[in-house]
Structure 1
């Protein structure tokens, strides 16, 4: 990859919805060493609005058009998961640095095709957008677990709450689009893989859209028996909240609680709740993208690899089965980690973890 004389990575952002537009704005305003030169989306109004956030960026209806018409070094993929593979495969063929929002893809089979294609190259090119690995709270919690300062980790209580869901949000998407974050970050924090998954469904929230059984509780069990209990609750109305309580042998640690000003007035006290993922994880996204850009300049990745994306897809697939059956489902990985994805001594502790 030959970086232009400006020193900036030439980036195409594919998908101009909320996440894609946020990345366009982020790279233009807060990231060094990169510039958005193309925005891709078939929606004419949406792609035009996102491109306005990056003066000089061209707009295209398809990634193939952008590849043919524009000199690119890298691509950020912010489309729905089922549309990731059709962008990732030609991007790999073109030798581009790739940051794919979660999930890597929507099926295990697709994820396998992606990692097989990537291994035809000389090194990993794909980083998956599990941004919680870059959040200060999760990093501190991971270090605390590894230190053994409070004895062994016994369990995690995780809450993943959204104010509402977009139209046509399916029940399986609770696992594949939302709990997928916990599916990735739990092994990252605990330091071992998930071996089983179970889903329990309490009384349904009447505020949820018709046909959506919400909330649900997802039980993730790791290799040593650590149990992560995940409350996925996506029509809770009050705002966006992601918290984790870690239960150790001799203590409890918590992350994600409000840290802003507490106001007492009119006979009550309260603190603000972040309205969306942008406020809760904005700093983590900034760190993630900056490190991806820096790594791309160095010819590597600095975060979750396509292998991590594959592992998450296997657990999510088992989770959808558990969701439908009500039974505990073992997680069975089809292959061992290829040497291609092993962490080199010079890599960040995040890379390929």
Structure 2
């Protein structure tokens, strides 16, 4: 079976997914696209032999579209995902599922009312081979019961429109989901520390930030977000257990020894670091749609991340320890 896919949003990540489906993935083809920039959508549609639609709603309603990939601006995600649920169509939503926990809750309620899981959220860390090895080490008890998790998320620079809250909502949101997934439990409290600000930031931005989380079982997790580190895109994660540690390897890069020095290049973009993870993520989603089953992070995972993000932003402004008001996960998502 070939899955006919409609893509809403043809910007950076949307166009990359369209290329990926056409060149890297099997079993799926892009048959429809839409974007606020209708000229761009038309140009991309012509390139891949798809039809350009004037709106996401019309794309979702089209009978030729079997499944929808939402890669539009974040504030539009909830609207399009809810439209897909109303139409009974599987939908892949890039993160975030929605920009507020309340809208995520609406999606969760609508999916349960539909009676079947149709939503996958784009937390691609779960599809990275290194993260999967780390998860397997924890699940297999190779380091005993986990006690601490240390995470680092660094970018070389941030644009002027990037603000302090985005350190949580756009950046650490990936670590938030990864920690929940690695531990298979929820986070219960958060505090945000604000170290000395780097002089390389824009004046309005608190950078770096350190987020301190506690889990249901008492595991402590810290996340360093530093989006003006200058030297590259650097993702790190280490789990410390009772009998050992497990750490993500550094991305493989050529090591050069010359002039009494050894050097190795550092990735500069998220595309360099996670391209393969995106390939695996979209392929597994296409396979799941073709086989009428669920795959990957659920709408509940998107909702949980939003609840934690809201508490983290609150902690940034309060300077104190904030509880995370996480409801019990419905059995629908077990």
Indicate the TM-score class for this superposition, using the shorter chain for normalisation.
over 0.9
Provide the alpha-carbon RMSD of the alignment: 1.7
Q: Please show how residues 257-268 of structure 1 align to structure 2 within 5 Å.
A: 257-268=250-261
Question: Is the partner of 2:114 in helix, strand or coil?
Answer: coil
Gap change, CA 1:191 and 1:278, over 3 Å in 2: same
* Conserved? CA contact 2:142–2:244, under 8 Å: no
Q: 1:281 aligns with which of 265, 274, 284?
A: 274
Cα deviations by residue, 1:188-221 (Å, 9 ceiling, x for unpaired): 1112111111111111122222311111111121
State the distance in 2 between where 1:214 and 1:266 align. Answer: 35
Q: 2:329 aligns with which of 326, 337, 352?
A: 337
Question: Is the partner of 1:120 in helix, strand or coil?
Answer: helix
Q: CA deviation at 1:43?
A: 1.7
Q: 1:151 aligns with which of 120, 144, 157?
A: 144
State the distance in 1 between where 2:61 and 2:138 align. Answer: 48
State the distance in 1 between where 2:288 and 2:56 align. Answer: 23
Q: CA deviation at 1:69?
A: 5.2
Which segment drifts farther, 252-261 or 225-234? 252-261
Question: Is the partner of 2:7 in helix, strand or coil?
Answer: strand
User: Where does structure 1 differ by over 6 angstroms across 4 or more consecutive aligned residues?
Assistant: none
State the distance in 1 between where 2:131 and 2:107 align. Answer: 28
State the distance in 1 between where 2:323 and 2:29 align. Answer: 44
- 2:10 alignment counterpart: 16
* Conserved? CA contact 1:118–1:125, under 8 Å: yes
Q: 2:242 aligns with which of 243, 249, 263?
A: 249
- 2:29 alignment counterpart: 35
1:239 aligns with 2:206: no
Q: 1:181 aligns with which of 174, 178, 201?
A: 174
Gap change, CA 1:235 and 1:151, over 3 Å in 2: same
| Structure 2 spans left out of the alignment, 5+ residues | none
Using the size of structure 2 for normalisation, the TM-score is: 0.95
Q: 2:133 aligns with which of 122, 135, 140?
A: 140
Q: 2:65 aligns with which of 44, 66, 72?
A: 72
Using the size of structure 1 for normalisation, the TM-score is: 0.90
Cα deviations by residue, 1:170-192 (Å, 9 ceiling, x for unpaired): 21111111111111110111121
State the distance in 2 between where 1:39 and 1:337 align. Answer: 34
State the distance in 2 between where 1:238 and 1:17 align. Answer: 26
Q: Please show how residues 186-205 of structure 1 align to structure 2 within 5 Å.
A: 186-205=179-198
Cα deviations by residue, 1:27-67 (Å, 9 ceiling, x for unpaired): 01011111111222112454345446x52122234202323
* Conserved? CA contact 1:81–1:103, under 8 Å: yes
Gap change, CA 1:45 and 1:174, over 3 Å in 2: farther
Question: Is the partner of 1:84 in helix, strand or coil?
Answer: helix
* Conserved? CA contact 1:242–1:256, under 8 Å: no
State the distance in 2 between where 1:50 and 1:181 align. Answer: 29
| Structure 1 spans left out of the alignment, 5+ residues | 1-6, 343-353
Cα deviations by residue, 1:238-268 (Å, 9 ceiling, x for unpaired): 2212111222223222104132221122332
